[in-house]
Amino acid sequence: MMKSIQNLLLASLIATSLAACAGSGALEAAPNSDRDPYENFNRKMFAVEQTLDAYVLKPVAKGYLYVPQPVRRSFRNFLNNLISPVTLANDLFQGEMQRASTTALRLGINTVIGIGGLFDPATRLGLERHEEDFGQTLATYGVAPGPYLYIPMLGPSPPRDLFGWGVDWLFDPVTYVGDESLTGPILRYTLDGVDARATNMGIIDEIERSSIDFYATVRSLYRQNRESEINNGVTNIDDLPDIDDLDDLDDF
């Protein structure tokens, strides 16, 4: 019964995301850094997130920092290894065979030699880690992100990425561990979030402290970082904004 409800919830999530994606076709024009039609709602959700962060996530992450660094490093390796099958599936969906073979080799080496992923000998062998998700796969097929949405504890989640998140859930082996399909992914997601918050404690606090509009800063960071992920981190000078006209404004 519980499983049926979970599947129903998942199906609804996917259906909602699909509908939102379909509706975003007209927005496929050049990305506008300010495009945020639900800004008022998003800012309220962002405020909820900040409250949850202040009272739950940050204190837990601070406590986690008492765990010795090598143990945290091993745990991070373990989490990275656990998500590898999702990356592998999306490497294949994107036709990135070289990257798929890197992910497959990493998964094999780190699981066997790295004792279940606790260590990362693959990186030392020159097999660099990368992550892919179905949101990125959709982007490579030309699907636009849709309107910006902020969901507490999920973070920036435009419809394309929200839908991708649901698909990745289905491809994630952790989903099929145990009787409850939601328990594994939620547990992994929570632990991943705590570890990421702890690891980046200093820089996140510094960005919040120095931002004149923290909500807009997070939105910009997300959009730029996401674009970079979709392009596999490759820098293309043709993608830069044209700044030639700035030189014409030198004199008043």
Partner 1 sequence: MRTILISFAVFTLMWMPMPASAQANEPDLAKAQSFVVALADEAIIILSSETTRAGREASFSKLLNEKANMRRIARFTLGQFGRKISKPDFETYQALLNTFIVKVYANRLGEYSDEKVIVGKAQAKKKNVIVESRIEFVNGRDPIDIDWWLRLEKDGSFTLFDVRVLGVWMAQEQRDSFASVLKNNRGDINALLNHLRSKISSDAENG
Residues that bind partner 1 (CB under 8 A): 33-34, 73, 202-203, 206-207, 209-213, 215-217, 219-221, 224-225, 227-229, 233, 235, 237-238, 240-241, 243-244, 246-247, 249-250, 252
Residue spans of alpha helices (H) in the chain = 2-23, 39-52, 58-64, 69-82, 84-93, 97-112, 121-124, 134-140, 159-171, 183-199, 201-210, 214-230, 244-247
Within 10 A of 238 (CB to CB), how many other CB atoms are there? 4
Q: Give burial (CB, 10 Å; 0-12/13-18/19+) of 35.
A: middle
Nearer to partner 1, 4 or 210 (CB): 210
Place of tokens 């373990």: 78
With contact defined as beta carbons under 8 Å apart, do 146 and 29 qualify? no
Nearer to partner 1, 180 or 206 (CB): 206
What is the nearest approach in angstroms of partner 1 to the Cβ of residue 252? 4
Structure tokens at 112: 């066997």
What is the nearest approach in angstroms of partner 1 to the Cβ of residue 129? 9
What is the nearest approach in angstroms of partner 1 to the Cβ of residue 18? 27
Nearer to partner 1, 17 or 81 (CB): 81
Query: Residue 211: left (phi > 0), alpha (psi -120 to 50), or beta?
Result: beta
Nearer to partner 1, 17 or 137 (CB): 137
Find, among 248, 232, 41, 239, the residue nearest to 139 by Cα: 232
What is the nearest approach in angstroms of partner 1 to the Cβ of residue 24? 20
Nearer to partner 1, 182 or 207 (CB): 207
Nearer to partner 1, 4 or 69 (CB): 69
What is the nearest approach in angstroms of partner 1 to the Cβ of residue 161? 15
What is the nearest approach in angstroms of partner 1 to the Cβ of residue 228? 3
Q: Which residues contact 194 (CB under 8 A, 6 or more apart)?
A: 57, 60, 61, 64
